[in-house]
Structure 1
Amino acid sequence: MLFWTTIKVALKSLLANKLRSFLSMLGIIIGVGAVISMLALGHGAEKQIMDRITSMGANLLIVRAGQHGRRGVRTADSETLKLEDAQALLEQVRGIDMLSPIVQGSGQFKYMNNNKRSSIIGGAVTYLPIRNYIVERGRAFTEGEVDRSARVAVLGPATVEELFEDEDPLEKNIKINGTNFKVVGVLKAKGDQGFFNPDDQAIIPYTTAMKQLLGVDYLREIDMQMARGENQEEVQARAEAVLRKRHRIQPGQEDDFNIRNMAEFAETVVETSKTFTFLLASVAAISLLVGGIGIMNIMLVTVTERTREIGIRKAIGAKNRDILIQFLFEALIMSALGGLLGVAAGVGGAQAIARFSTFPSVVQLSSILLALFFSAGVGIFFGFYPARRAALLDPIDALSYE
């Protein structure tokens, strides 16, 4: 038989049993749909994580007190970072463009009859540009206000919404832990980052936070933005050397601080996200294999039902190859069509899930092509045995089959 005739016969056979063909494809549809959905959501989560890390600041090095994750020491409980450390880093480490000492805490915020608890960040005037914060309304605090420990605050939009509702917050006084602060600016929204909501906080001069609000003489962390073109590892090594010397840490002793490199942090997070996405997609791909087994079972039944037809075709000149191709194409068409329907279902499913989750779905062309290729491969793999069985039938036995 001619090639196109073989395909035509295969399609005619599938259309003659529409319901059975659809049920055979169902496993492939579900499998491909699940794979596409998981990959889309995984890529969406990865993109969101990268956007959030980028929003934390470019070329950022974060110095924190304590050895994070070692011997139970937590950075929040250590008091080894001082203002003098920040000044030494700025003066002695080549390659630092901007630096901000940071103290952090939380407090009770009050305006009129509205109360809420929120984060308090004490930083220098450089803190906002280092962390890519944009003042949408009003202004940031000034160097002069830092020097005189002024009680001024830049609020996140979520904090403003809860405290002021529809009222303009600029130049209004609020109480933070009972102390009056004037609102001088409102940040542009960044969105909740899961582990921290940058839209729900007050940023004040670090001098004010240390002396008047939190009552501490140590820093929570030191944020450093490197100059363009600087090598992160080299700048980090210089910073470590300065701090080890200042803290009188002997060779072989562990640091009493840790420095986080945002590039390394981003790489770690992305690798974790990719691993998680791969695991989810692998679990979803199992249903593809189940769908392939379903196709093989149906094809075996089909071969049995059409034994006499196979015998007749062989009797009038059809070769084993023609029979093999015909049944193989039937399996391939079912899996390929199931793959296409699965892609549509997967894209729709990913969009639907994204509406009710905190991260978007990102459907990549490579994911679609991979799913279609895999579904076609499943069809060929699981369709080969029934097709071969049909091709090897003896025409005499096939014609006498009841």
Structure 2
Amino acid sequence: MNLLQSMKMAWKSISGSKVRAFLTMLGIIIGVSSVITLVSVGQGTTSQITAQLEGLGTDLLTVSIMGRGSSSSLTLEEAMDLADLEGVANVSPVISGSVTAKKGTTNDSLSVEGITPSYEEVQDFHIQAGRYIVDLDNSFRMKVALIGTEAAATFFGTENPVNQTLQLNGVSFKIVGLLESKGSSLTASNDNKLLIPISTAERFLRSPGVRSITVQVEDTNQIDRVKSQLEAALDKKFLNADNAYNIFNSQEMLDTLNSTTQILSLALGGIAGISLLVGGIGIMNIMLVSVSERTREIGVRKAIGAKQRDILTQFLVESIALSGFGGLVGIGLGYGASALIGQYSELSTSVSAPVVAFSFGFSLFIGVVFGMIPAYKAAKLRPIYALRTD
């Protein structure tokens, strides 16, 4: 008997008992769809967080100063001197705070950052209208500001905010530039804030000294060496005091995140894969029942010349067909569930073709492994005993 005949007989057997076949496939369906859905959620979430971390810049080091004793910050000059270290392309010191902004009858609380002109290059944050903060603004502590798109919409609607004024804590600031839209970062919105000269911020926000500096390295391969130089310079400043500063490397966090999420995805896939094994056991049980029900049929076939391999092939093809159909339905449900989760929740999903292929391949493997026992049992039946069965 050839393979085509075995497939026809398997199809006839499956279609003759549709409800039992569906219930047999249910474990495989649930297993495959669960693996695809859970892994897609894990990979999608990983991609989303990775994109946000990469948006911070993998060539950047963020220095946070806590200080020691009365020396709790760096001066602006000390912060800018860090640009002279070997391998450093640029530095961007920042002084942060919040203000109450007012325009006419509109009031809102906005975050404010005091910056230098290097902020544009280091943070990759440009303007779409007007001009940027320049050195002259810092030299004369000018009361000028750059405004984010969200803040601009709040206070000026559809009007061009450039060259208009905004009251910040009762002090008039002239808007000289409209920032491009950057969306939200890991911490807050980048579009609902103001940027002002850092020298103005020191006095206006009553925050003397710099406590946050972003350092851009010339080459990402040098980032560890630059970090060591920064540590040496800051240790000298703060006399090797513990917890006087912290240097954040987004690449290190990115590597840790990728490693953690890969383990998490494997764990989720493994948990879902257990249902595939349960489905395989279900297939084996049903196939054993099928062998018992069709014992006389097997005896007749062997009596008229069917060989052991023919019986083995027939039942094995039937088992693989059950697991294969279940796998295909599970793939469809997995894609559908992933799409629904991505559409109607805040979670991101990303269905991976290798994961789909692995899930389907594993379902076929389950069919082969758990179909071998009942198929072998059927093939080993002696005709004389099989024909006695009622």
Same fold (TM over 0.5): yes
8 Å CA contact 2:115–2:195 kept in 1: the answer is yes
Q: Specify the code of the residue in structure 1 equivalent to 2:110.
A: S
What is the deviation of 1:311? 1.7
Q: Distance in 1 between matches of 2:292 and 2:79?
A: 81
For residues 209 and 364 of structure 2, the distance between their equivalents in structure 1, rounded to whole angstroms, comes to: 63
Shift of 1:44: 1.9
Q: Which amino acid aligns with 2:281?
A: I
CA distance in 2, matches of 1:338, 1:66: 59
What's 1:156 paired with?
A: 148
Q: Which residue of 2 aligns with 1:338?
A: 326
Listed as ranges, the matches of 1:1-400 within 5 Å are: 1-66=1-66, 79-91=72-84, 93-212=85-204, 214-228=205-219, 231-249=222-240, 254=242, 256-400=244-388
CA distance in structure 2 between the partners assigned to 1:273 and 1:178 by the alignment: 48
Q: Residue type of the partner of 1:87?
A: M
Q: Does the Cα contact within 8 Å between 1:57 and 1:132 map onto a contact in 2? A: no
Aligned counterparts of 1:190 and 1:348: Cα–Cα separation in 2? 32
Look up the equivalent residue of 2:362 and give its one-letter code: F
Identity %: 37
**3-state SS in 2 of match to 1:122:** strand
Write the letter of the residue equivalent to 2:23: L
Cα distance, 1:232 vs structure 2: 0.9
Whether the aligned pair in 2 keeps the contact of 1:328 and 1:380 (CA below 8 Å) is yes
Q: Which residue of 2 aligns with 1:70?
A: none
Q: Secondary structure in 1 aligned to 2:163?
A: coil
Assess if the C-alpha contact under 8 Å between 1:85 and 1:246 holds in 2.
no
Root-mean-square deviation (CA), in Å?
A: 2.4
**Partner Cα separation in structure 2 for residue 340 and residue 130 of structure 1:** 50
Q: 3-state DSSP class of the match of 1:189?
A: coil
Q: Which amino acid aligns with 2:363?
A: S
Aligned partners of 1:317, 1:400: CA distance in 2, in Å? 18
CA contact (8 A) 2:33 2:330 kept: yes
How has the CA–CA distance of structure 1 residues 299 and 166 changed in structure 2, closer, same or farther, with 3 Å as cutoff? Answer: farther
Q: Relative to structure 1, is the Cα distance of residues 63 and 23 closer, same or farther in structure 2, using a 3 angstrom cutoff?
A: same
Secondary structure of 1:231's match? Answer: helix
Deviation at 1:60, TM superposition (A): 0.5
TM-score in terms of structure 1 length = 0.88
Displacement after TM superposition at 1:161 (Å): 3.1
Cα 1:305–1:201, aligned 2, differ >3 Å: closer, same or farther? Answer: farther
For the residues of structure 2 that align with 1:193 and 1:375, how far apart are their CA atoms?
A: 41
CA deviation after TM superposition for structure 1 residue 225, in Å: 0.6
Distance 1:301 1:234 in 2: 68
- 1:268 Cα deviation from its structure 2 partner: 1.4
Letter in 1 for 2:112: I
Structure 2 stretches lacking a partner, 5+ long: none
Q: Partners of 1:276 and 1:187 in 2: how far apart?
A: 38
Q: 1:115 to 1:394 in 2, by over 3 A?
A: farther
Deviation at 1:248, TM superposition (A): 2.0
Secondary structure at the aligned position of 2:359 is classed as helix
Distance in 1, Cα, partners of 2:304 & 2:180 = 78
Q: Following the alignment from structure 1 to structure 2, what is the Cα–Cα distance between the partners of residues 178 and 285?
A: 62
How far apart are residue 258 of structure 1 and its match? 1.7
Aligned residues: 388
One-letter amino acid matched to 2:223? Q
Shift, 1:208, TM fit: 1.9
2:27 is aligned with what amino acid?
A: G
| SS of residue in 1 equivalent to 2:108 | strand
Give per-residue Cα distances to partners, 1:331-351, cap 9 Å, x unaligned: 212212221222222122212
What are the superposed Cα offsets for residues 311-359 of structure 1, whole Å, 9 maximum, x if unpaired?
Answer: 2222222223322222222121221222122222212221221122345
* Kept after mapping to 2: 8 A contact 1:109/1:176: yes
Which whole-Å CA distance do the structure 2 matches of 1:114 and 1:316 have between them? 94
Measured after TM superposition, the shift of residue 240 of structure 1 is: 1.1
For 1:199, the aligned partner's letter is D
For residues 127-151 of structure 1, give each alpha carbon's deviation from its aligned partner in whole angstroms, at most 9, with x where no partner exists.
1321222323333222211222222
Deviation at residue 372 of structure 1 after TM alignment: 1.2
